[in-house]
A and B are shown apart, each in its own frame.
Chain A
């Protein structure tokens, strides 16, 4: 029996292709397309920033900057280099990291609680089934990593720490963290079936 018909990416590269198309319209100043992009991206953008920055008011500020940057720089999005979702998440993560690594934030950060703070247990409000599925998949795949791989990857990404800081927190050599992060990410990539 034939599978149900739908419009989707000819290259079969995932559910994000319509977002790619929307961003192309945003690049041409289409505000209706931007509203649709907002609806798709605001949750992931805010969730990620909240995870890294933690303070709700600051997170909202950074999220607003990032979403506006997506509007401003949509013409720089190149679908040949990344999916639209990844393009946006790279911007969001960099902005979040900039915020927490700035001098004033650094002074206030409680490094001791860092390791405990980066578990991805449900302390966030997920409002989409996909988010739950993603969370489940990420959690399941994280379990296949060694302890040091898992801690390095989550501290770097969710904690926003540089790998030098991660090495300090975990008390392991710098080179070890570097390779564990790469090995861990590659294992996650393969576990989650990411195609690049």
Chain B
């Protein structure tokens, strides 16, 4: 009975996530995980679940442990990254930018709105997409790029990556409820003098994220806001913003 059927193997996700399996069976399952993305995905979810069990029994660590651990760290050499690891981002924020980069770039192939100049009027769609991708990449990779995020009043979250030096930003969101066909989300650049400049309409892509919007011409004190407007958008906001983010320092 040495042959484990696939179903049997798959059922090991739970015991693997709880470290309730040892030895050869564990090794075999670990090997299986490298070839079974759905198993690996399930294990990840179950390990995150196990983490909640761990957090539920949080306890105050003994006095003196901190000094000891920090002291030991001071004299302990760290291991290099594993050989197969991808190159690490150079800055902590780059971690998030990297996570954002692929979905953003992919989504940008679909459409992007540019404040000031609307790209794509004179060029082929592909050229437009490439340019927009480059612009998004430039923002994501700009030194000092920041991420600002907030919940919206209707649920979901809005996120802006701001490259202050470039006076540009990329706006995206996830989990905002779909609007009826008579309504639309509109993005605004809110100037410190109280004026509002439309930065385009948001379209919700499959998966509940909005297609990233690229906006340029940022000025100090600018904020970004989203309102719900009649289909087609309006020249100025007619409703209270569901979220406002400070983007310029």
Contacts and interface: CB of A to CB of B under 8 A. Distances in A.
A5 B148 contact: yes
B85 A68 contact: no
B49 A189 contact: yes
Interface stretch (B10-18, B110-118, B125-133, B229-237): B10-18
A7 B17 CA distance: 31
Given A6-B149, A27-B78, A194-B45, A68 B73 contact: yes
B99 interface: yes
B54 A44 contact: yes
Interface string B25-66: 000000000000000011011111111111111111110011
A19 B91 CA distance: 14
A43 B51 contact: no
A181 B18 contact: yes
Interface residues of A, number: 97
B54 A31 contact: no
Chain B contact surface mostly: mixed
A120 B57 contact: yes
Contact of B241 (A2, A45, A76, A120): A2
Contact of B79 (A73, A97, A166, A192): A73
B56 A27 contact: no
A195 B129 CA distance: 31
On chain B, which size bracket covers the interface?
35 or more
Nearest to B146: A7
Nearest to B147: A10
Interface in A71-94: 71-76, 78-83, 85-86, 89-90, 92-94
Nearest to B225: A2
A141 to B, nearest CB: 8
A48 B51 CA distance: 10
Contact of A127 (B58, B70, B174): B58
Contacts of B243: 2-3
B152 interface: yes
The 5 closest A-B pairs by CB, nearest first: A196-B45, A182-B14, A47-B59, A131-B58, A3-B151
A30 to B, nearest CB: 10
Contacts of B79: 72-73, 75-76
A136 to B, nearest CB: 8
B81 A75 contact: yes
Contact of B95 (A24, A34, A97, A186): A24
A10 to B, nearest CB: 4
Interface of B: 11-15, 17-22, 41-42, 44-62, 65-66, 68-70, 72-74, 76-82, 85, 88-89, 92-93, 95-96, 99-100, 147-153, 157, 159, 161, 172, 174-175, 225, 240-246
B20 A181 contact: yes
Contact of A93 (B54, B76, B92, B99): B54
Given A86-B47, A92-B54, A134-B56, A9 B149 contact: yes
A120 B46 contact: no
A138 B53 contact: yes
B169 to A, nearest CB: 13
Interface in A45-78: 45-48, 50-51, 56, 60, 63-64, 67-68, 71-76, 78
A163 B15 contact: yes
A172 B89 CA distance: 49
A95 to B, nearest CB: 10
B228 to A, nearest CB: 13
Nearest to B78: A72
A43 B60 contact: yes
A179 interface: yes
A98 to B, nearest CB: 9
Given A27-B78, A192-B49, 12 more contacts: A2-B150, A10-B172, A11-B174, A27-B81, A29-B78, A46-B60, A124-B57, A124-B59, A128-B58, A166-B20, A189-B46, A196-B44
Contacts of A127: 58-60
Interface in A18-49: 20-22, 24-25, 27, 29, 31, 34-35, 38, 42-48
